[in-house]
Structure 1
Amino acid sequence: MIEVTGLTKSYGGFLAVDDISFRCQPGRVTGFLGPNGAGKTTTMRVMAGLTPATRGETLIGGHRYRDIPNPGTHVGVLLDASAQHAGRTGREVLMVGAKTMGLPESRVDEMLDMVSLSQTESKRRVRNYSLGMRQRLGIAHALLGDPSVLILDEPANGLDPAGIRWMRDLLKHYADRGGTVLLSSHLLNEVELIADDMILIGRGKIVAQGTKKSLLAERSTGTLVTAVDNEALSTALSAAGLQVNRAGDALRVDAQPLQVGQVAADQRLVLTELRPADGGLENLFLELTSDSQRDDLTHTDDPQGAPA
């Protein structure tokens, strides 16, 4: 378990993290979301003992990171895949970690195989690795000591679609075995697929936290639905007392997807699409962090009116 209580970090007059508190539970993947500069990486650096807190504390399994004996066997950390010794080979990077943690050399081979770095690739200097290969090496290093907690900052950065799916499956399996995962990412669709819980941060403050389902449900603005026979579906929904409006080729219903689906099932109507009308995690993220976004997303400029 990860416990963050009243954490504050300031740099001179700049408040990077402002009195935040949250928990990450075993057996669950927690998505840590926020715009650039929101305080995600600073929070993770404090957790890993790399940055001292101004106030508050972060505990992993009830202990501060610096008080954990042989911490790599309890906590796996990946904050910057590029911060690896460029002159060492991938194998050497893992061997140093294994020796530091008192692990057998066979563990290095297990990790290389797990992250799909071949023997040939493992003998190449890290400076010659692509970003995706460095991410795989970083994940291998984080898992080297078979820790019960993973703290990962943008682990999908640089991975191709197959690599992202591999990472998603890896982390789900890890959580299913009882591990605790804290994952930051800008790939909102990926977080929506993998996260059980979500923490949204903006300007150093927590703006929302809870299960993915509860956060999205609280801000749902209805349901978009289409059917083989939209007219029959519209009639059935109206008869059930639900407000229905046209939305292009779809129907927008002032109700939750479950209610809409139940009406369709009762009337034996075939649906071809059924989803929340709020656009999912992306709209939630933009709504709650709107005051910390660099770009104005409240309107779309007409490209024809743009200067040449």
Structure 2
Amino acid sequence: MIQIENLTKRYGSFTAVDDITFEARPGRVVGFLGPNGAGKSTAMRMMTGLTPPTSGSATILGRPYRDLPNPGRHVGVMLDAAAQHPGRTGREVLRLASLQMGVPKSRVDEMLDLVGLTDDESCRRVRNYSLGMRQRLGLAGALMGDPEVLILDEPANGLDPQGIHWMRGLLRGLADEGRTVLLSSHLLSEVEIVADELVMIGRGRIVAQGTKGELLAPRGTRVVSVDDTALQLALADAGLTVQAFDGFLVVEADPAVVGRLALDARVALVELGAHGAAGLEQMFLELTAADSRSVRDAALASSAA
């Protein structure tokens, strides 16, 4: 189990992670999502003892990561698959991990077989690995100690569609065995398939969290019209709560009510349906729109300077 309580990390005046609280329980896959620069990797580094928090706490199996005896036997971590010695072979990387953790040598062959690296591939230097092969090797290392908890940052990065399908089945199977899986990924469709719970972060703060069913359930009505300004006024005049997003409105009312009011206002509709049914990608874009704009504006300002 992973417990995060009021976890915060500041670098001078910049707050990378801002007072986040959530937990990941055994038997569950938790998708940890957010745009680039939202604070996901910093939070995971604090969970695994690589970055000290400014305040708050992160515990795994009831203890800070650094206090766990032989932590690789309890927590499997893959934060950067590229952080492997390029001059060693894949087999040497795993053999060193097995020695460090005190697991049998036979575990190396078991893990190579599990992640689909052949004997020939395991004897190549890591510098000659593709990104997908490095990902598989990194996952083999994370699983070497047969851990109860997995913390994985972009584990499917570089995998082909077949590899992504394999990864999905592996993570689901590990959770079904009673392990805790915390998964960060930008492949939203894959997270939507495999995750039980979602934690979404933007600008260092949690903007949404809960079970997948709760977060992706229909929430009001999504509507697009030829004149959203006029429609928004008509809906507001009828006492409905309306949120305006880039290119559409979200209304706290049934689609039938919204359609009738649009007809009365003589505003033609282009799209009308239950909001939230579009899935994780749509929710992600809506909740992190401001975060994405701030990153883009900062990049434009930097290039103009």
TM-score greater than 0.5 by the shorter chain? yes
Q: Is the Cα contact below 8 Å between 1:198 and 1:212 reproduced in 2?
A: yes
Mapped to 1, the partners of 2:4 and 2:131 lie a distance apart of 30
Retained in 1: the 8 A contact 2:81–2:138?
Answer: yes
Alpha-carbon shift at residue 182 of structure 1 (Å)? 0.4
Deviation per residue, 1:194-227 (Å, 9 max, x gap): 110000000000001000110111535379xxxx
1:195 and 2:195 are equivalent in the alignment: yes
In structure 2, how many angstroms separate the alpha carbons of the residues matched to 1:220 and 1:30? 26
**Would you say how many aligned residue pairs link Structure 1 and Structure 2?**
257
Q: CA RMSD in A?
A: 2.2
Partner residue of 1:207? 207
Aligned to 2:284: 285
Alignment of 1:1-308 (within 5 A): 1-217=1-217, 219=219, 221=221, 243=256, 252=272, 278-294=277-293
Distance 1:287 1:11 in 2: 28
Task: Report the CA distance between 1:242 and its aligned residue.
Answer: 7.5
Gaps of 5+ in 1: 224-240, 255-275, 298-308
> Using the alignment, how far apart are the partners of 2:291 and 2:105 within structure 1?
46
How many Å separate the matches in 2 of 1:220 and 1:41? 33
Change (3 A) 1:117 1:220: farther
SS of 2:214's equivalent in the other structure is helix
Deviation track 1:26-58 (CA, whole Å, cap 9, x = no partner) reads 100000000000000000001111000110110
Query: 1:268: which partner in 2?
Result: none
| Partner Cα separation in structure 2 for residue 242 and residue 211 of structure 1 | 25
Amino acid at match of 2:7: L
Q: Read off the aligned partner of 1:33 and give its amino acid letter.
A: L
Q: Secondary structure at the match of 1:293?
A: helix
Contact 2:78 2:151 in 1 (8 A): yes
Tell me the distance in 2 between the aligned counterparts of 1:197 and 1:220. Answer: 21
Distance of aligned partners of 1:277 and 1:180 in 2 relative to their CA distance in 1, 3 Å threshold:
closer
Cα distance in 1 for partners of 2:23, 2:219 equals 22
2:255/2:272 contact within 8 Å kept: no
Quick one: percent identity of the two aligned structures?
Answer: 64
Give the partner amino acid of 2:34.
Answer: G
* 8 Å CA contact 2:20, 2:205 repeated in 1: yes
Change (3 A) 1:120 1:8: same
Once residues 204 and 279 of structure 1 are traced to their aligned partners in structure 2, the CA distance between those partners, rounded to angstroms, is 25
**Structure 1 residues 280 and 217, CA gap change in structure 2 (3 angstroms):** same
1:72 offset after TM fit, Å? 0.3
| Separation (CA, whole Å) in 2 of partners of 1:10 and 1:292 | 18
Q: Distance in 2 between matches of 1:220 and 1:180?
A: 33
Distance in 1 between residues matched to 2:220 and 2:114, nearest whole Å: 39
Distance across 1 between alignment mates of 2:158 and 2:102: 31
- CA contact under 8 A between 2:6 and 2:56: conserved in structure 1? yes
Task: Indicate conservation of the 8 Å contact 2:7/2:19, yes or no.
Answer: yes
TM-score (norm 2): 0.80
Shift of 1:161: 0.2
Q: What amino acid is the match of 2:44?
A: M
Could you say if the C-alpha distance between residues 195 and 277 of structure 1 is closer, same or farther in structure 2, counting changes exceeding 3 Å? closer
Change beyond 3 A, Cα 1:68–1:217: same
2 CA distance for matches of 1:60 and 1:117? 30
- Describe the shift of the 1:199–1:277 C-alpha distance in structure 2 as closer, same or farther (beyond 3 A): closer
Amino acid at match of 1:211: T
Contact 1:29 1:175 in 2 (8 A): yes
| Structure 1 residues 295 and 163, CA gap change in structure 2 (3 angstroms) | farther
